[in-house]
Structure 1
Amino acid sequence: MKNIQNTIEKIIQKLTKEEQTISFAESCTGGRIAAAFTAVSGASTILHGACVTYSNEIKHQWLGVSREVLENDGAVSEPCVSQMLDGIQKMTGSDYAIAVSGIAGPTGGTEFKPVGTVYIGLKTPFSKEVYHCHFDGPREAVQERSTVYAIEKLAEQLEI
């Protein structure tokens, strides 16, 4: 994670210069994205807040993820992460949002959603994308790779 710190510093500098903000809605990453940002000086200028919404009920209550999406598509799905993005942005009023939901393992996987399946969403003032990823390795590796991927996708969008 140390090599991602430089990228975060550049993100903070760019968003600060543009007077823009960001917020996070995390599930399988357990707050790692927020922790990575708050480890860098200057994050308070751009980071509005973050939620670790691990349970389906909290995804519904806090972020407004519909019960229909949770029941039909599941928490680990594009529709869920899309609604998580909308919910965290509505809650915080931030310009940018990242949302993550996945199966870090070693349990919880299925034939259709194996361990390592992660959906990572990024909402900007101009677009909303949800990426379907699969990361191999133990739980910690899946969580770390998801965190790094999300931060790198944000950097790409910001052209850093």
Structure 2
Amino acid sequence: MSSPATELVRLLTVREDTLAVAESLTGGLVAAEITAVPGASRVFRGSITAYATGLKHELLGVDDDLLARHGAVDPQVAAQMAAGVRKVLGADWGIATTGVAGPEPQDGKPVGTVFVAVDGPVTDRAGSAGGGKVAALRLNGGRAEIRMESVRSVLAVLLEQLAGEQTGNERAQDTERNGGF
């Protein structure tokens, strides 16, 4: 079975879509996971690691008032990061991670509080899925485990969005490739 990053690159390649990544707590791990896949250059536009809160506003366009009111660990911040990186890097899809990996709480949020977001093409008249999605996570473990689970989670959320958008032809190709199952 292929890795989530491999499957993601495959699906984006089939769709001829591109991807950009905005990261905070993962510090570049999402981009590293994607670019480890051969052929990722066909779909991966780039990434912005906005670790400092101010950079989320300056580079990604996250609302300053939102950051002041709620801090960087917030579902709306994650959504705006994904939308911002998509716009800034000119990609079809944007994904983002923000949260608290520890060892200390941040902005009143406990260690393990993570938000991952996807921003993509909006729903069209034919009812195609897409747009944005934010997943709230409550992760256990140490700093490294929280960061790696955040990577896995944001890739899974995007894969779910892409799988929901597959056309009948792509599903038929997948079925054929998987022996009819």
TM-score, normalising length from structure 1? 0.92
Which whole-Å CA distance do the structure 1 matches of 2:153 and 2:61 have between them? 25
Deviating beyond 4 angstroms after TM superposition, the runs of 4 or more aligned structure 1 residues are none
Cα root mean square deviation, aligned: 1.6
Instruction: Name the residue aligned to 1:33.
Output: 30
**Number of the residue aligned with 2:112:** 116
1:87 pairs, out of 84, 87, 90, with 84
User: Contact between 1:16 and 1:45, CA under 8 Å: does it hold in 2?
Assistant: yes
Percent identity among equivalent residues? 36
Unaligned runs of 5+ in 1: none
Equivalenced residue count is 156
Residue aligning to 2:131:
127
Match status 1:156 vs 2:160: yes
Structure showing greater Rg: 2
Q: Which amino acid aligns with 2:82?
A: L
For 1:117 and 1:85, how far apart are their aligned partners in 2? 18
CA contact (8 A) 1:73 1:79 kept: no
Give the SS at the match of 2:46: strand
- Residue deviations 1:62-97, cap 9 Å, x none? 001121011001100012111111210110111111
Are 1:145 and 2:149 matched, yes or no?
yes
Q: What residue identity is the alignment partner of 1:139? A: R
Q: Amino acid of the residue matched to residue 8 of structure 1? A: A
SS at match of 1:99: strand
CA distance in 1, matches of 2:115, 2:148: 14
Matches for 1:37-116 after TM superposition, within 5 Å = 37-109=34-106, 113-116=109-112
- Paired residue secondary structure (2:114): strand
Rounded to whole Å, the distance in 1 between the matches of 2:53 and 2:10 is: 34
SS state at 2:73 partner? coil
SS at match of 1:158: helix
Per-residue CA deviation, residues 105-150 of structure 1 (Å, 9 max, x unaligned), is 011346x511000010011212201111110110000000000011
Stretches of structure 2 that go unaligned for 5 or more consecutive residues are 122-129, 164-173, 175-181
